[in-house]
Structure 1
Amino acid sequence: MIRLFVPDNLIAGEAVVPAPEQGRYLTAVMRLTVGAEILLFNGRDGEWRATLVEAGKRNVRLLVGARTRPQVAPPDLDLVVALVKRGRLETIVEKAAELGARRVRLVVTRRTNADHTNVGRLQAIAVEAAEQTGRLDVPEIVAPEKLDRMLNGWDADRRLMFCDETGGLPPALDAVRAAGGSSWAVLIGPEGGFDPEEGERLRGLPFVTPVSLGPRILRADTAAIAALALWQAAIGDWVTPS
């Protein structure tokens, strides 16, 4: 069944008017007609069944029915990723949404080749991924920030998994399980890796857990997917409650 993210409050019996592009998608692309049912979510009220009650070229309206799932909090997991080429960054955002990250923070390092990106487009990609994967929230995409500034303001209660290419470090799965805790972020550097001074600073911070992602050097998108999956397998919502 089609799922749409909407900003509206979802209340049984209330009408929701989707955004124009969503309305065109429902009626022109998917060719839904009056009486068709879809699912709605807004990141606050859970998931709700809705019925298409108006399907005109200019006006599309949905009537909210019964709630199908209550709202649940996502894992307290952020992805911090250096800006990379557009296609790879878009893949990273899509996969981060699929793998349950609650937020993607973009960071500029000394070896980052760009200092800006289209955050609006990345947010739209996150919305589409959330709709397709069945999650009940949409990851927030945070505008780029310098690495040093981000670290200066870091919440020390949130562990930072530093995917370090220098070698001699514990495997990510073991390191995360040993460190424990519930609030984490995964840090993925640029294609050229971190500057040596950046790496040295990261290793010296008390909230940082340096880890290895294996014997091979991974591209940023591969590293992000691997690290998020390992965190989920270690202490995330892939783990069966004991």
Structure 2
Amino acid sequence: MSIPRLYLDQPLEAGREVPATSGQAHYLGSVMRRAPGDAVLLFNGRDGEWEGRIAAIRKDRCTLAPERLARPQAPQADTRLLVAALKRDAMEWVVEKATELGIGLIQPVLTRRSVADRVNTTRLAAIAQEAAEQCERLGLPRVEPARPLPAVLDAWDGIPLLVGAERRESPSLGRVAQGMHAPWAWLVGPEGGFERVELDDLARRAFVSTASLGPRILRAETAAVAGLALLQALAGDWDDQPISIGDRALGSSARAGT
């Protein structure tokens, strides 16, 4: 039987019971059919992952008891995704996959050809939380409100920003990423690509490098995830030792209601 894994924005320590949200209580009691004494896994992005149990549960109320630290908190590499605002389903899919890939910050940007002019940050943050619960991350990515691309670039802190470009003269992303280490960021434009004025603005920024993802034109969501996977493999945390989960059930489908 899979063990529900829940994110709680509260301190976790042995002997200190913490309340679940009403959505989590509903999920544990009505969906998962859990009862007092049943096992849970808890994390908050600061105190590591804890093995615990359900101390009490009733309708939309639940108290959880952390008991033993299972995994200490690991530092989160500074890896970022900047992606032009996409249609809702595509944007939600990108956030889910970026979370699974371990990205630390997700910044939607508004470009001249963006197909959406607003982003539901609250909804995207909930999707990121659910994905983090399922993929055994120890923390959540930060999902920022959508901002115009020039404003994001003007406030940039100088870490390398790799930009997916369709121009043939751009080197491959694999070549650009060789020898790199975090921090880094990956920027993907909208369907139809960046306009020339945006490309010229990017080219003037000392922290920007353009890179190609091959001979085919990719959808924006495909380019976002393909680029992140390559960067994590060559310049991210995929060389670390895999997490030891012992007898823990794989494929936990814990979901925190929102």
| Shorter-chain TM-score tier | over 0.9
Equivalent residue for 1:211?
A: 211
- Whether 1:101 aligns to 2:88 is no
- Whether 1:2 aligns to 2:1 is no
Aligned counterparts, 1:1-242, within 5 A: 1-156=3-158, 158-178=159-179, 180-239=180-239
Within 2, Cα distance between the matches of 1:191 and 1:184? 23
Check whether the contact 2:21–2:61 (CA below 8 A) recurs between aligned residues: no
Q: Which has the higher contact order (CA 8 A, sep 6+)?
A: 2
Secondary structure of the residue aligned to 1:226 is: helix
Secondary structure of the residue aligned to 2:237 is: coil
Shift of residue 199, structure 1, vs aligned partner: 0.8
Provide the TM-score with structure 2 as the length reference. Answer: 0.90
Within 2, Cα distance between the matches of 1:58 and 1:84? 35
Is the alpha carbon distance of 1:207 and 1:92 closer, same or farther for their aligned partners in structure 2, counting shifts above 3 Å?
same
Shift of residue 220, structure 1, vs aligned partner: 0.9
Q: Which sits farther off after the overlay, 26-35 or 202-211?
A: 202-211
Shift of residue 206, structure 1, vs aligned partner: 1.2
The residue type paired with residue 220 of structure 1 is A
Check whether the contact 1:15–1:61 (CA below 8 A) recurs between aligned residues: yes
Within 2, Cα distance between the matches of 1:226 and 1:8? 34
The residue type paired with residue 167 of structure 2 is T
Shift of residue 173, structure 1, vs aligned partner: 1.4
Quick one: percent identity of the two aligned structures?
Answer: 43
Provide the TM-score with structure 1 as the length reference. Answer: 0.96
Within 1, Cα distance between the matches of 2:204 and 2:36? 61
The residue type paired with residue 118 of structure 1 is N
Shift of residue 114, structure 1, vs aligned partner: 2.4
Shift of residue 213, structure 1, vs aligned partner: 0.5
Within 2, Cα distance between the matches of 1:225 and 1:112? 18
The residue type paired with residue 166 of structure 2 is E
The residue type paired with residue 175 of structure 2 is D
The residue type paired with residue 155 of structure 2 is G
Question: After TM superposition, which residue ranges in structure 1, 4 or more long, deviate above 3 angstroms?
Answer: none
Within 1, Cα distance between the matches of 2:61 and 2:123? 25
Within 1, Cα distance between the matches of 2:61 and 2:97? 33
Secondary structure of the residue aligned to 2:40 is: strand
Within 1, Cα distance between the matches of 2:22 and 2:234? 42
Check whether the contact 2:163–2:211 (CA below 8 A) recurs between aligned residues: yes
Gaps of 5+ in 1: none
The residue type paired with residue 200 of structure 1 is D
Report Cα offsets for 1:191-237 as digits up to 9, x if no partner.
12101110122123211111110110111110011000010111111
Shift of residue 59, structure 1, vs aligned partner: 2.7
Shift of residue 113, structure 1, vs aligned partner: 2.9
The residue type paired with residue 134 of structure 2 is Q
Is the alpha carbon distance of 1:192 and 1:23 closer, same or farther for their aligned partners in structure 2, counting shifts above 3 Å?
same
